[in-house]
Amino acid sequence: MKGAILPGAEPFNFPGGDVGCLLIHGFTGNPSSMRPMGEALSRQSFTAVGPRLKGHGTRVEDMLDNRYQEWIASAEAGLAEIGKQCRTVFVAGLSMGATLAMHLACKHPGKVKGVVPICGPVFMKDFKMIFLPLLRLFVKTVPGIGSDIKDPAVAELSYDRVPLRALGELLQLCRLVKEELPRIRQPALIFAAREDHVVHPSNAPYILEQIGSSEKELIWLENSYHVATLDYDRELIFEKTAQFMQQHSRP
């Protein structure tokens, strides 16, 4: 039996203009981490849609058997939803949501006008990952990675445990998107926190170098940890994303 959606973890759809942004949350998180960004974009007359990825925003047990293809399907359903409302669609994502955003840009070039990865991984540098296949034989979950936020007044609504099988699926998704980077041609605005305790900051310059976009920029966040859309630099992210969308949605 699947768990009920946690209060605050519901998907959102903020109607605005005919230019919109799909906002994809991260691993073990839910749409609440992207909601403030959606609200900010909506105030500037952009449509903002935040889907809930399968297995997220309910209870950690619902993630135990997730496959990365199911997260892709959830993101693609969100892309179809916003595509019915907007003539021009951008895709932004936090953490694994950034990885999914880049995958959508690669697979749906006719639907995605530009991509905004925020603290997104295409590889993991934690040496403990090599023990993952063995560890999964003995335990199902380990302590969570959520709420890596510098601002002490803010907490992320996320699972307090990480399902190891799902973590293995995340690693597969990262490997897939790492190979897809050269085929992404849309404009890209990349954000990365210099002090990120979840995704190694070296991912960002690698993405900048490898992505096939001719128009691309990396903005370093100097006052945030991993969940940057809820942290001190959130207004900078919202403002720069709105400018990016305005610039690249002009006829």
With 60 as the cut, is the pLDDT of residue 13 above it?
yes
**Number of neighbouring beta carbons within 10 Å of residue 182:** 12
With 60 as the cut, is the pLDDT of residue 80 above it?
yes
* Active-site residue, from 33, 74, 95, 213: 95
Domain boundaries defined on the chain: 12-245
Is 33 labeled as catalytic in the residue annotation? no
Question: How confident is residue 239, by pLDDT bands cut at 50, 70 and 90?
Answer: very high
What CA–CA distance (Å, rounded) separates 212 from 217?
12
Question: How confident is residue 139, by pLDDT bands cut at 50, 70 and 90?
Answer: low
* Active-site residue, from 158, 213, 226, 249: 226
With 50 as the cut, is the pLDDT of residue 122 above it?
yes
pTM of the model: 0.94
Is 95 labeled as catalytic in the residue annotation? yes
How far from 14 is each of 115, 235, 240, 243, CA to CA, in Å? 19, 18, 19, 19
Question: How confident is residue 164, by pLDDT bands cut at 50, 70 and 90?
Answer: confident
How far from 217 is each of 87, 104, 142, CA to CA, in Å? 24, 19, 35
* Active-site residue, from 196, 224, 231, 233: 196
Provide the CATH number for the domain formed by 12-245 in this structure: 3.40.50.1820
